[in-house]
A and B are shown apart, each in its own frame.
Chain A
Amino acid sequence: MSIPPWLDDLLWTYQNLIHAMGVNGLLALSMYVVLAIGQLSLGQAAFMGLGAYSSALMTLKLKLPFFVVLPASVAAPVLVALLIGVPTLRLSGVYLAIATIGLGEVLRAVYLNVDVFGGALGLNGIPERAETWMIFGILAAGITGLWLVGRSGVGRAMEAMREDPTAAAVMGVNVPRYHLAALVTSAILAGLAGALSAHVSSFIGPNEYGFEPAVTILSFALLGGIGTPIAAVAGAWFLTLLPELMRDLPQVRLTLNGVIIVLAVLFLPRGLLGWRMGRKAA
C-alpha cells in the first residue's frame, strides 16, 4: 500500500512540526525527571546544546555514521552532568536553578569564542540524518521507561523526596544518589533531543541553548503537569502546536499564546493532565 499524494504532501508540510513535537517531548521528559524528585534544575537547554554541538561536529568533522553519532551524543552531556552534579548536590530550589542557568551561559560563551563551534554563526549544513521513527521511538522508550520506574519502588522514593526530602532521607532514601541519577538521566534525554534536532534542521546556533529555551522547557513540564511522564510530554506538544494552530491570526498570535498559557496556569495549577501515577497497594 502506498501513501496517497495528498497525505504525503500533508506529512511533508508538517514534518518539521512533527519532529519538533518529538524533540520537545524528549526535553519535557528531561525536565520531568528532575522535577519529579523536587529539584529545580534548569540545565536541560545546556545539555541539549552539548548533545547538538557534539553530534554535529561528529557528523561534520569526523564523518561518522548516525548510528554511532546518536549514542555517542550523550557522552558530553553526561560528563558535564557528573562534573556539575557532584558539587551542586547540596543545592536546592532557586540556588540550584541559578547554578544550572549559569551552566547554560558558560557554554554559550564557549560556543561563541571557540572557533570549532563556529562562533556566533553556529554550524550549518548538518545533513538530515534523523528520521521521524527514531525520534518517536526514543520518545516512546523514554515515556515507557520513566513510567515503569515511576510505578516501582523507586517512584515511591521519588515522590517522597518531592514532598519532603528530609522525611524521605530519614526513611532511608539515599537522596544524593537519586539527585545525581536524575540529573544524569535528564542529561541523556536532553542530549539525545539535541542530537536529533541538529540532524533534522541543518543549522544550530549558540543562542538556541541559552536562558530562554531553558525557561521554555520548564514551561513544557509545568503546563503539562509532573504527575506522570505523559503529562509533561502533553505540555510540550500543546506549547509546540499552539503557535502553528494560530498561524491564521497573525496580529494576535503572540498575545493569544501568552493568554492561553496564563489561563492554563491559573485554572489548571496541577497541569493539563493533573492526575498521579496509579500504583498497586504495597
Chain B
Amino acid sequence: MMRRTLAIALLAMPALAQSQPVMAQPIQVGAIEILSGPNAAYGVAIKGGLDLALDEINAKGILGGRKIQLTVEDSAANKDQAINAARKLIGRDKVVAIIGPTLSNEMFAVGPVTNERKIPTLGTSTTASGITEIGPYIFRTSLPESDVIPVTLKAAQARGVKTIALMYANDDAFSKSGFDVMKAAAEKAGLSILAIESFGSKDTDFSAQLTKIKSLKPDAIGLSALVEPVSGVLLQARSLGFGKETLFIGGNGSNSPKLGEIAGPAADGLIVGSPWFIGKKADNNEAFVAAYKAKYSRDPDQFAAQAYDAMKIMAGAIDRAGAAEPEKVRDALAKTDSSGVMGPFRFTEGRDPATAAGVVVLVMKAGKFAVLE
C-alpha cells in the first residue's frame, strides 16, 4: 500500500512541478554559519539577523514578486563541514549566492570552492585580512579590523595617548590578525610602541606580561584577544595597580557585552571601535532593534546587525541583477549603494566595505558600553 502511494506521488511530481509558473519559484540563497558547538552564539545571532531581514524582503518580494528561500547550513566551526555545506548548497540546492561562513578560517577554506564555481559569496563576520583576495566572487560587509582600529586609535590620541604597549593572544587567527593590524595602525598613527607581549587564549595568569608593561608606564595598552582573556587581563591589571592613567584599547574581540559581565568594574574606561551600536540614533536602527527584540525576545548584537544588512544587500543585488543568475548577481553586488542599520554601504574595487563612516567608538561604563563623547 505504502509503496503504491509513493509510486503515485512520484508520478504526480513532474506534473505538479510543471503546473507551477516559473515566476513563483523561490530564489535559492544559501548561508553557512556555526549553529552548533561552543561558538554557536555567533551563528545563531547571524541567522537571527538574516531571518529578520528575510521576513521583510519576502513580504514585498523581489524580481516582480518572487521570494527568497534561504537554506542555512551548520558548519560547527569545522573547516571540513563548512566545505561540505558549501558544496551541498551549490551542487544540490543550486543556490545563486552564499552568505557566510562565520569565521575567517572557514572562509579561507570555503572561498576557493565557491569562487571556482563562480557563486557570489558574502561574508558578514569575517574580519581577517586577505579574505576578499581569494577571488572575484568573494565579498564581505564586515569592516576589516584595519578600518576600525585606526578610528579607535584616533580617539585615544585625542585623549593625549602618545605611547602604547600591545598585548595579544598568539594562538588564534582572529586575535593574531587583529594584533597585526593594531601594530601597523599604531605605527602609522605615530604612537611609540613600548612593548609587545603575547599570551595563550586559555591562559589565566598575565602577571609577568603586565608587570613588565607597568614598569614602562605606557599611556595606553592595546588588547587583541577574545573577550574571555581580555577580561582576565583587565581583572589582573587592576589588582596590579593599573589605574585611570592607563587607557585600555580593545580590538573587535573586546566588543562584546560579555566583557562587562565577566570583568565588571575592572573593564571601566576601556575603549573599543564598533561598526554598530545598539543605541545608535537612527530611525532604521531603532526599528531593527525593536523588531529583533519582538521576534527573539533578546537584544541584537553586532553580528545580527551585520547579517541583517547583508541579507538586504544580497536581496537588493539579486533584484537589480534582473535574474537569479550568479554571474549577474555578482556584478550587481559589486555596484551596491545602499543604506542599512550600519550606515551607508558601498564596496571597494577589492570587494571590501568602502567606508568606515559608520564606526562608533564605545567606552565601558559601569559594566555597559556607551558611545564615547
Contact = CB atoms under 8 A, between A and B. Distances in A.
B83 A201 contact: yes
Interface in A81-139: 108, 112-113, 119-122, 124-125, 128
B66 interface: no
Nearest to A14: B87
A120 B176 contact: yes
B4 interface: no
Contacts of B109: 201-203
Nearest to B35: A250
A201 B76 contact: no
A13 B108 contact: no
Interface stretch (B88-96, B118-126, B284-292, B296-304): B88-96
A120 B171 contact: yes
B170 interface: yes
B84 A244 contact: yes
A3 to B, nearest CB: 14
Given A124-B130, A250-B74, A253-B74, A112 B91 contact: no
A119 B112 CA distance: 21
A245 to B, nearest CB: 11
Contacts of B266: none
Contacts of B76: 243, 253-254
Secondary structure class of chain A's binding surface, majority of residues: helix
A120 B84 CA distance: 23
B171 A206 contact: yes
Contacts of A203: 79, 105, 108-109
Contacts of A244: 81, 84
**Size bracket of the A interface:** 20 to 34
Nearest to B106: A203
Interface string B162-201: 0000000011110111000000000000000000000000
Contact of A12 (B91, B112, B128, B175): B91
A10 B91 contact: yes
A202 B108 contact: yes
A13 to B, nearest CB: 3
A254 B91 contact: no
A119 B74 CA distance: 27
A254 B37 contact: yes
A166 interface: no
Nearest to B94: A9
A247 interface: yes
Contacts of A12: 87, 90-91
Interface string A140-176: 0000000000000000000000000000000000000
Nearest to A246: B74
A184 interface: no
Contact of B172 (A120, A243, A247): A120
Contacts of B337: none
Contacts of A191: none
B268 interface: no
A108 B202 CA distance: 14
A201 B91 contact: no
A225 interface: no
A202 to B, nearest CB: 5
Contacts of A120: 170-173, 175-177
Nearest to A197: B80
Contacts of B173: 120-122, 205
Contacts of B35: 250
Interface in B216-235: none
A247 B105 contact: no
A119 B91 contact: no
Contacts of B128: 121
Contact of B80 (A20, A113, A121, A207): A20
Contacts of A112: 170-171
A251 to B, nearest CB: 9
Contacts of B175: 120
Contacts of A15: 87
Interface in B14-39: 35-37
A265 interface: no
Nearest to A200: B83
B309 interface: no
B80 A201 contact: yes
A125 B37 CA distance: 27
A218 B18 CA distance: 51
Nearest to B176: A120
B87 A16 contact: yes
A253 B176 CA distance: 31
A125 B171 CA distance: 20
B73 interface: yes
Contacts of B177: 120-121
B83 A16 contact: yes
A17 interface: yes
A203 B177 CA distance: 16
Given A124-B130, A243-B81, A13 B112 contact: no
A9 B91 contact: yes
Interface in A188-211: 201-203, 205-208
Per CB-CB distance, the 7 closest pairs between chain A and chain B, nearest first, are A13-B91, A120-B176, A203-B108, A124-B108, A16-B83, A203-B109, A202-B112
21 contacts: A10-B91, A14-B91, A20-B80, A108-B171, A120-B171, A121-B128, A121-B176, A121-B177, A122-B108, A122-B173, A125-B112, A201-B80, A201-B109, A202-B112, A203-B79, A203-B108, A205-B105, A205-B173, A244-B81, A247-B85, A247-B88
Given A13-B91, A16-B83, A254-B76, 9 more contacts: A12-B91, A13-B87, A13-B88, A16-B87, A20-B84, A247-B74, A247-B85, A250-B74, A253-B74
Interface of B: 35-37, 73-74, 76, 79-81, 83-85, 87-88, 90-92, 105, 108-109, 112-113, 128, 130, 170-173, 175-177
